[in-house]
Structure 1
Amino acid sequence: MRTLALIAGLVSLAHCTKRNTLISGVDLFPANGAKDVNPDTHLVLTFPSSPVIGSSGNVTVYDLEDGRLVDTLDLSIPSSPSPYGNGSTKANYSDSTTYQSNIIGGIDFYFYPIIVRDNVATIYLHNNRLDYNRTYSVTIGPAVLKSSDYSFNGITHNSSWTFTTKSRGPAPGVKEVTVAADGSADFNTVQGAIDWAPSNSLAKTTIHIKEGNYEELVYFQYKSNLVIRGQSRNKTIVGYPNNSAFNPPNRQGPSRRSAFSFKGVADLQISGFTITNYYRGQAEALLIDGIRVIVDRMNLNGSGDALTTYGTAYIADTTLWGDGDTILGYGSVFWKNSTVITRAGPVSWTRTGQGVHGNVMLNCTIIGGQGNSTFARLPDNKGGVQANWPYAEMVLLNTKTGGIALEGWGPVQGPPFDTFHLHLWEYNTMGLDGKAVDYSHRVNVSRQLTSPRDDSVVEKYSDPAFVLGGWTPVVS
Structure 2
Amino acid sequence: MSRVLGMLGISASAVLLAACGGGGNGDNASATPASGTSTAAGSAPIAYYLPAKGEPAAYVDTRLQINFDAPPVLGSIGTIKVYKAADNSVVDTIDISSAVVSAGGETQSVMPYTNTEIDQIGKNVANLTQWRYVYYQPVTIAGNTATIKLHDGALSYDTDYYVTMDPGVLSGRVNGAGFNAITGAKTWAFHTKKAPASTTSVTVDDDGAADFRSVQGALNWIMANGCNTTCANAADAKTVTIRNGSYNEMLFLRNVNNLSIVGESRSGVVVYYDNYESYNPSTGGSKTAVQTTLTNEQGATRRSLGGGRAVLLVENADLLKLSNFTLQNTHVKQTIFNNQAETIYFNSATLNGSRFVATTMNFLSAQDTIQTKGWAWYYQSYIAGDVDFIWGSPFAALFEESELHTVFDPTGAASGVYSGGYLFQARAAYGYPGFVVLNSALTADANVPPGSAYLGRSGGLTVANGYCNTLYTSGSFGNANLGCDNIAYIGNRIGPHIASVGWFTQPANSPVPDPATPTASAGWRESGSMNANGGAADIGARSAYSNVSADLSAFSTRAKVFAGWNSGAGWVPSP
| TM-score range relative to shorter protein | 0.7 to 0.9
**Aligned partner of residue 347 in structure 1, secondary structure:** strand
Q: In 1, Cα distance between the equivalents of 2:513 and 2:388? A: 23
Q: Is contact 2:326-2:362 (8 Å) kept?
A: yes
Say if 2:25 is the partner of 1:18.
no
Could you say which residue in structure 2 is the equivalent of 1:234? 267
Quote how far apart the aligned CAs of 1:38 are: 1.6
Partner of 1:338: 402
Match of 1:458 among 552, 555, 559: 552
Match of 2:73 in 1: 52
Structure 1 stretch displaced more, 264-273 or 252-261: 252-261
Residue in 2 that maps onto 1:445: 545
Task: Give yes or no for the alignment of 1:395 onto 2:416.
Answer: no
CA contact (8 A) 2:366 2:385 kept: yes
Q: Comparing 362-371 with 302-311, which one deviates more in the overlay?
A: 362-371
Structure 1 residues 462, 50: closer, same or farther in 2, change over 3 A? Answer: farther
Q: Which of 304, 319, 331 pairs up with 2:382? A: 319
The residue type equivalent to 1:363 in the other structure is N
Alignment map for 1:188-337 (pairs within 5 Å): 188-197=213-222, 198-200=226-228, 201-249=234-282, 250=291, 256-280=308-332, 281-290=339-348, 291-331=354-394, 332-337=396-401
8 Å Cα contact 1:336-1:362 kept in structure 2: yes
For residues 52 and 312 of structure 2, the distance between their equivalents in structure 1, rounded to whole angstroms, comes to: 29
Following superposition, the deviation at residue 123 of structure 1 comes to 0.6
Q: Is the 8 A contact 1:78 1:98 kept in 2?
A: no
| Structure 2 residue aligned with 1:159 | 186
Please report the RMSD computed on the Cα atoms of aligned residues, expressed in angstroms: 3.1
Equivalent position SS for 2:217: helix
**Separation of aligned partners in 1, 2:342 and 2:540:** 34
Please name the residue that 1:71 is paired with: 92
8 Å CA contact retained: 1:47, 1:120: yes
Offset at residue 221 of structure 1 (A): 1.2
2:440 is the counterpart of 1:364? yes
Q: Does the alignment pair 1:140 with 2:165?
A: yes
| Separation (CA, whole Å) in 1 of partners of 2:167 and 2:208 | 27
User: Residue type of the partner of 1:136?
Assistant: Y
Letter in structure 2 aligned against 1:284: E
Between the aligned partners of 1:385 and 1:140, the Cα distance in structure 2 is: 59
Provide the C-alpha distance between the structure 2 equivalents of 1:427 and 1:51, rounded to a whole number of angstroms. Answer: 58
Distance apart, 1:358 and its partner CA: 1.2
> How many pairs are equivalent?
452
Q: 1:104 aligned to 104, 121, 126, which one?
A: 121
Letter of the aligned partner of 1:375 in structure 2? L
Aligned AA for 1:231?
A: E
Q: Residue 129 and residue 308 in structure 1: after superposition, are their counterparts in 2 closer, same or farther (change >3 A)?
A: same
SS at match of 1:374: strand
Moved over 4 A (4+): 19-26, 78-81, 87-90, 250-255, 381-385, 387-390, 415-418
Closer, same or farther in 2 for the Cα pair 1:303/1:415, shift >3 Å?
Answer: closer
| Equivalent residue for 2:530, pick from 407, 430, 434 | 430
User: 2:513, 2:213 → 1: CA distance?
Assistant: 55
Residue 517 of structure 2 corresponds to residue 420 of structure 1: yes
Taking a change above 3 Å as real, the CA distance of residues 193 and 438 of structure 1, as seen in their structure-2 partners, is same
Q: Does the 8 Å CA contact 1:211/1:230 hold for their aligned counterparts?
A: yes
Counterpart of 1:169, as a letter, is: A
* Structure 1 residue 460, shift from structure 2 partner: 1.9
Distance 1:10 1:409, change over 3 A: farther
Q: Which amino acid in the other structure matches residue 153 of structure 2?
A: N
Q: Which residue of 2 aligns with 1:404?
A: 498
- The 2-side partners of 1:184 and 1:465 are apart by 41
CA contact (8 A) 1:329 1:358 kept: no
Q: How many Å apart are 1:48 and its aligned residue?
A: 3.3
Q: Greater shift after overlay, 405-414 or 262-271?
A: 405-414
Instruction: Look up the match of 1:377.
Output: 457
Residue ranges of structure 1 left out of the alignment (5+ in a row): 1-6, 82-86, 91-96
The structure 1 residue matched to 2:195, chosen from 169, 188, 192, is: 169
> TM-score under structure 1 normalisation?
0.86
